[in-house]
């Protein structure tokens, strides 16, 4: 009887009060350091971070994954490698939009190569405008280590200086690797507005016969462009295909989580690391329904609808223990308000976030958002 009472008292002690809070903080800290530990604490696979190990110990593989300038984190590139070497079923082709110099291209392609289920016919189609990311001077400065190391010939330096395009650089950086034969790079543009769609000479398109098993989205930098890209791509996917949004958790790109939320149950969250969130398609896309739910501009959707969507997104992030996601969604909500002209609302939301003690580790993000919460296709900056 005494043993039973002690056991019951111990359970109550850890279920309530400060011991439980301390334990929860310890678990969350451990999960931030190693997201794959999430599966140890739940009966079902956790979506607190990746559901597969993201560590890479092979020195040659590490050097390749970290060898190119990229806006992704180390964890995100390791996640992409692990995802495509393990979870991707290996059937159909893979599409990537917005690779820049190809840091993510390399991670995806290496993962594809190391997946024993990969079909020999599977390719990685990567699309970009391959220009106008940076000024010519800043692009050359970014590439200077590769020129000095002999990885890029002097002729390419002259081409970049003369034309401002980095397509030749991209091709050269991915030549001669064991994954090179998987990559098919094409100059294509995702239009950022209905007007630009009419005037763009090489808009993003997918060949009619292509079947896609996974899609990596790093180049949807606008509200209209996100809808355009996903609908064009979804004509070639099916239930079971994966959509990986690199900017889902980035504070300026509010249109991505809003778009996914307005799809309803079409996409289901699978896993996430840093700003990269992966969803699996559960149902066919209804293009007409998507067009109705997600109009050409956020102004057409309106503040009430945007607020409802973000309340739902924030509740879901809290339920899954996604603290970083709560912060990014809160900043994205402010960004959406700024975009539709509610600047005072945006400023007050960002200021309120800055005053919260739990936001300490995100001070840089908050400061950047206070200066420029988002951007438009015209490059306008809100102050």
Average pLDDT value for the chain: 88
The Cα–Cα gap between 70 and 174 comes to 14
Chain centroid, CA 24 distance in Å? 27
Confidence of residue 44 (pLDDT cuts 50, 70, 90): very low
Tokens of 1: 């009887």
Confidence of residue 28 (pLDDT cuts 50, 70, 90): low
Confidence of residue 55 (pLDDT cuts 50, 70, 90): confident
Tokens 């490059």 -> residue:
379
Q: Which tens digits make up the pLDDT trace of 155-166?
A: 999 999 999 899
Confidence of residue 275 (pLDDT cuts 50, 70, 90): very high
Q: Using the predicted structure, report yes or no on whether residue 36 has a pLDDT greater than 70.
A: no
* CA dihedral (345, 346, 349, 350) positive or negative: negative
Crossing angle of helices 17-33/2-15, nearest 10°? 60
Residue 22 pLDDT: 58
Q: Which tens digits make up the pLDDT trace of 290-344?
A: 999 999 999 999 999 999 999 999 999 999 999 999 999 999 999 999 999 999 9
Residue 170 pLDDT: 96
pTM: 0.86
Tokens of 198: 């009419």
Which H/E stretch holds residue 126?
A: strand 124-128
Residue 26 pLDDT: 61
Picking from 249, 325, 221, 225, the residue whose alpha carbon sits closest to that of residue 72 is 249
Confidence of residue 6 (pLDDT cuts 50, 70, 90): very low
């Amino acid at each position: 009887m005494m043993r039973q009472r002690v056991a019951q008292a111990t359970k109550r002690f850890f279920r309530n009060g400060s011991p439980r809070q301390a334990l929860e903080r310890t678990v969350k800290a451990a999960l931030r350091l190693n997201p794959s530990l999430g599966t140890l604490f739940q009966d079902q696979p956790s979506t607190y971070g990746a559901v597969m190990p993201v560590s890479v110990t092979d020195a040659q593989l590490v050097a390749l994954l970290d060898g190119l300038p990229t806006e992704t984190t180390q964890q995100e590139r390791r996640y992409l490698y692990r995802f495509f070497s393990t979870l991707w079923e290996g059937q159909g082709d893979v599409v990537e939009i917005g690779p820049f110099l190809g840091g993510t291209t390399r991670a995806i392609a290496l993962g594809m190569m190391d997946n024993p289920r990969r079909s020999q016919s599977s390719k990685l189609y990567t699309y970009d405008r391959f220009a106008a990311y940076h000024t010519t001077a800043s692009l050359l400065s970014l590439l200077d280590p590769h020129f000095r190391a002999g990885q890029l010939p002097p002729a390419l330096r002259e081409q970049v200086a003369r034309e401002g395009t980095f397509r030749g650089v991209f091709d050269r950086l991915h030549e001669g690797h064991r994954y090179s034969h998987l990559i098919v790079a094409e100059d294509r543009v995702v239009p950022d507005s209905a007007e630009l769609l009419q005037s763009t000479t090489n808009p993003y398109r997918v060949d009619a016969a292509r079947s896609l098993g996974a899609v990596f989205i790093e180049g949807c930098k606008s509200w209209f462009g996100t809808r355009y890209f996903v609908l064009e791509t979804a004509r070639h996917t099916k239930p079971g295909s994966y959509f990986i949004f690199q900017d889902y958790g980035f504070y300026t790109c509010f249109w991505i989580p809003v778009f996914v939320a307005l799809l309803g149950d079409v996409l289901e969250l699978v896993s996430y690391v840093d700003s990269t969130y992966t969803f699996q398609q559960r149902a066919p896309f209804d293009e007409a329904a998507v067009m109705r739910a997600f109009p050409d501009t956020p102004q057409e959707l309106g503040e009430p609808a945007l607020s409802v969507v973000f309340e739902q997104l924030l509740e879901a992030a809290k339920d899954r223990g996604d603290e970083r996601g709560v912060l990014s969604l809160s900043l994205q909500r402010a960004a959406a308000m700024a975009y539709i002209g509610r600047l005072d609302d945006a400023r007050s939301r960002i200021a309120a976030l800055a005053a919260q003690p739990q936001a300490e580790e995100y001070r840089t993000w908050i400061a950047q958002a206070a200066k420029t919460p988002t951007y438009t296709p015209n490059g306008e900056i809100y102050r």
